[in-house]
Amino acid sequence: MSFRSDCVHACAVFGCLIGFLITMPGISFAAGALPNAQSKGEWRGEFAPEFTAFAHSGVAGQASESLSASLRLEGWYSPDDGRNTFAFVPFVRWDQRDPERSHHDIRELSWVHVSGSREIRAGWRQVFWGVTEGIHLVDIVNQTDAIESVDGEQKLGQPMLSLGIERGDQMLDLFWLVGSRERTFPGREGRLRLPLVVDSDFARWESSKGRDRQDLAFRWQWNPYPLRLGVTGFSGTAREPELQPVLTGKGVVLAPYYPVIQQLGVDVQVTQGDLLWKLEAIQRNGGQRNYHAADAGLEYTQVGVFATQADLGWLLEWLYDSRNRKAATPFQRDLLLGWRVAFNDVASSSLLFYVIFDPDDGEQLWSLEAQRRLAEDWQLALEIRQVAGTAAPQSEAEFLVAPDLTHALRPLAHDNFARVTLSWFF
C-alpha cells in the first residue's frame, strides 16, 4: 500500500472514531473527563509533535534531523457499570523523512466482559508481561512497533480472544491469538537501522498458513507477598524475525523470516522494603537454534534522598543470552547500571538514566529519558541515546561480505540522537 493511501486510510480510521464517539450514547466529551454516575464513557487524546537531531548524517546519506508527529485517541464505553466495556485506541504517525515510519495502527478495539472472578476479552488488545528494565524477554504476545522506539516497548495491536480467572492470590490468563503481525522496520531513509534495509515485501513464514497461523499463550501468576511469580508459555509464530539477505530488483535487502517457536518463561519480583529483586528468564525452541536467556537484577529506592521530596532508584541488571554473538539482540553478556528519579513535584518531573555495557568488548549504550508537565494538558519529554566504545558503521558492501558479529552496536555508531517531544493531552 502506498504512503498516500496509508494516510487516506488513517484519516478514515480517525474520522470513524470521531463519529463513533460523537454518536455513542452516554459518552462525556469534557477533556480528561472521568466516569461518574451520569457518564458511561470517556475519551481522551494525545497529539505529540517531535524533533529529532542526530550527531552525524547517516552512513547511507540519511538526514541528520527530522520532524514527526503522532496522534493517539482513546475511547471507552461501559453501559452497565463495568460488566461490559468497549475500547477503541487508534494511533497514527507522520514522519518527515522515512515513509516507513509514517504509519497507523489500531492499538486496541476490544470488548471485555466481567463475570465474578472471570473476564472474557475479545478484539485487538495489548498485553504486557515483564518486570525488568533492560529487556522484556517474556513479553511476547504483541508484536514490537520497532519504528516507534528503539527500546522495544511500543507494541502493535494483536487480535485475540482471552479468558482470565482469578482465585485468591492466583491468576490464570489463556490466550488464543488470531494470526500474527509483522514487525515494523525503518526504510531506506530511516535511521537506527542495519546497513542493509529490511524489506517486509519479501517476508516469509515457516508455517504454511503464514501470518494467519493461530497461536496460543498462557500466563499464571501467584502473589503471596512479598513474592510475585509469573509463569508464561507461548506456541506460535515468533514475533522476532530472522533476517536473511536476498537479491531483489531493489538490490540486496534483508528479508524477515518468521519461524514457529515454543517459549516457556518465568518472571519474578521479590519486595524487601525499598529493595526489589527482579528476574526474567526464557527457554525458546525453534528457529535457527534453541536457546535460553535471562535478565536478572535489583532496584533499590532511596525515599526522600538528600532530605528532599525526591525518590532515587538504583538499577543493576545482568543481561544474558546463550547464543552469544549469534543472538539477534546486542545484549548477550552485558551489565546495566542506572538511576531513576521521581521528583514528586507538581509538574510530575521524572528522569531515567542508564548505561548498558559489554565487559568483553567495551561497547556501551547510554540512555536518558526525562519528562516534565508544563501545564495541566502539556508535557515536555527529552530522550537521548548514545552508542560508544565501538567502530564506525560498516557500509552496505562491507556488511554483506563480512558482517561484524563481535560489535553488535556498531551499525548504530553514527545514530546518536536527541529527541524532544511536546505532548498535548485533550
Report how far residue 178's alpha carbon sits from residue 124's, in angstroms, rounded to the nearest whole number. Answer: 10
Is residue 3 over pLDDT 90?
no
Contact (CB, 8 A) for 364 and 356: yes
pLDDT score, position 325: 83
Q: What is the pLDDT of residues 296-322, one digit of tens each?
A: 999 999 999 989 999 999 999 999 999
pLDDT score, position 16: 42
Report how far residue 414's alpha carbon sits from residue 409's, in angstroms, rounded to the nearest whole number. Answer: 10
Nearest C-alpha neighbor of 14 from the set 88, 111, 99: 88
Is residue 39 over pLDDT 70?
no
Is residue 77 over pLDDT 70?
yes
Report how far residue 124's alpha carbon sits from residue 106's, in angstroms, rounded to the nearest whole number. Answer: 7
Contact (CB, 8 A) for 254 and 197: yes
For residue 329, name the pLDDT band (cuts at 50, 70, 90). Answer: confident
Is residue 30 over pLDDT 50?
no
Helix (H/G/I), strand (E/B), else coil: 321: strand
User: Which range (245-249, 326-330, 341-345, 416-420) has the least confidence?
Assistant: 326-330
Is residue 278 over pLDDT 90?
yes
Is residue 25 over pLDDT 50?
no
pLDDT score, position 164: 98
Is residue 89 over pLDDT 60?
yes
Domain assignments of the chain as residue spans, ordered by start: 3-425
pLDDT score, position 204: 97
Quick one: average pLDDT of 394-422?
Answer: 93
pLDDT score, position 110: 98
Instruction: Kindly state the DSSP code that residue 143 receives in the 8-state scheme.
Output: P
HSE-CB at 330 with a 13 A cutoff on CA atoms is 26
pLDDT score, position 6: 38
For residue 28, name the pLDDT band (cuts at 50, 70, 90). Answer: very low
Q: Which cell goes with 401?
A: 561480505
Contact (CB, 8 A) for 132 and 317: yes
Contact (CB, 8 A) for 298 and 246: no
Is residue 394 over pLDDT 80?
yes
For residue 20, name the pLDDT band (cuts at 50, 70, 90). Answer: very low
Nearest C-alpha neighbor of 173 from the set 127, 135, 113: 127
Q: What is the pLDDT of residues 130-171, one digit of tens each?
A: 999 999 999 999 999 999 988 889 999 999 999 999 999 999
State whether the Cα torsion 281-138-417-410 is positive or negative.
positive
For residue 18, name the pLDDT band (cuts at 50, 70, 90). Answer: very low
In this structure, how many other beta carbons lie within 10 angstroms of the beta carbon of residue 340? 18
**Residue 78 identity (one-letter amino acid):** S
Percent of all residues in the chain with a pLDDT value above 90, rounded to a whole number: 84
State whether the Cα torsion 317-195-144-90 is positive or negative.
positive
Report how far residue 255's alpha carbon sits from residue 208's, in angstroms, rounded to the nearest whole number. Answer: 17
Q: Which cell goes with 78?
A: 461501559
pLDDT score, position 37: 39
Q: What is the pLDDT of residues 199-216, one digit of tens each?
A: 999 999 999 999 999 999
Instruction: Kindly state the DSSP code that residue 77 receives in the 8-state scheme.
Output: E
Report how far residue 399's alpha carbon sits from residue 195's, in angstroms, rounded to the nearest whole number. Answer: 7
For residue 15, name the pLDDT band (cuts at 50, 70, 90). Answer: very low
Distances (CA, A) of 178 to 30, 49, 170, 242: 36, 33, 26, 22
At the fourth CATH level, the homologous superfamily of domain 3-425 is Porin (2.40.160.10)
Helix (H/G/I), strand (E/B), else coil: 243: strand
